[in-house]
A and B are shown apart, each in its own frame.
Chain A
Amino acid sequence: GENVEQHPSTLSVQEGDSAVIKCTYSDSASNYFPWYKQELGKRPQLIIDIRSNVGEKKDQRIAVTLNKTAKHFSLHITETQPEDSAVYFCAATDNNDMRFGAGTRLTVKP
């Protein structure tokens, strides 16, 4: 089955800096890669996703890149703001079950 690894587990940046979170997956059949933001005690919220036929996708300050050959994908947040502080999860699926990374706790210091 699919196995998703996520790094780093914690990340602290200054407001305005960029943050990068990386994930690797094991199943080459995986074709959909969403990223979720989860604030304490709340449900995960989809912030961006990418499908296997695309290498990069951007939405304002958030971008995701996918390298199918290397089986890794990354989340990039530019111009970070304190409200970006949360736990971020990557996930991968091959149209069956979605597997999540362990999560990255991002702290943006004002």
Chain B
Amino acid sequence: GAVVSQHPSRVICKSGTSVKIECRSLDFQATTMFWYRQFPKQSLMLMATSNEGSKATYEQGVEKDKFLINHASLTLSTLTVTSAHPEDSSFYICSASGTSGVYDEQFFGPGTRLTVL
């Protein structure tokens, strides 16, 4: 199947700093990428959907100025957590789809565990 990588896998940062997470589709063109957040023992919560070359669509309750998403190419999307706070500590997972919608399979990255001190 298609491969999606995510970097870094783990990051620890100080409160107030910004952290960038990269999501790459390695062997296919991802027209759509999704960013999820997962708290311990909970389900995946969709944060935003991004289409290449367009502004991301954020879910209700997700601060777009805090969680900056860029999908500049068909193989790369980035999530930047700005002015991180301890409550932002979570497991962030991206997924990529090779179509303009989610009808076809989404391929998930391995996730990034963010810890904000």
User: Which residues of A are in contact with B by a Cβ distance under 8 Å?
Assistant: 31-32, 34, 41-46, 49, 89, 93, 95-103, 105
**B: interface residue count bin:** 10 to 19
Beyond A89-B44, A103-B43, is A98–B102 a contact (Cβ under 8 Å)?
Answer: yes
Q: How far is the CA of A93 from the CA of B106 in the complex (A)?
A: 11
Known: A93-B102, A97-B102. A103 touches B42 (CB 8 A): yes
Say yes or no: A100 contacts B110, CB within 8 Å: no
- Contact present for A95 and B93 (CB under 8 Å): no
Q: How far is the CB of B35 from chain A (nearest CB, A)?
A: 12
Classify the interface of chain A: helix, strand, loop or mixed: loop
Q: How far is the CB of A48 from chain B (nearest CB, A)?
A: 11
Q: Main SS of the interface on chain B?
A: loop
Q: Please give the residue numbers on chain B whose beta carbons come within 8 Å of chain A beta carbons, in ascending order.
A: 34, 41-46, 49, 59, 93, 101-103, 105-106, 108-111
Nearest neighbor of B94 in chain A, beta-carbon distance: A43
B101 CB contacts on chain A under 8 angstroms:
95-96
Known contacts A100-B43, A100-B44, A102-B42, A95 near B102 by CB under 8 Å: yes
Given contacts A98-B34, A100-B43, contact A46 B105 (CB under 8 A): yes
**What CA separation (Å) do A100 and B46 show in the bound complex?**
9
Name B102's contact: one of A45, A46, A96, A102 (CB within 8 Å): A96
- List 17 additional A-B contacts (Cβ < 8 Å) besides A43-B111, A98-B102: A42-B110, A43-B108, A43-B109, A49-B105, A89-B44, A95-B101, A95-B103, A96-B101, A97-B34, A98-B46, A98-B106, A99-B46, A100-B43, A100-B46, A102-B42, A102-B43, A105-B41
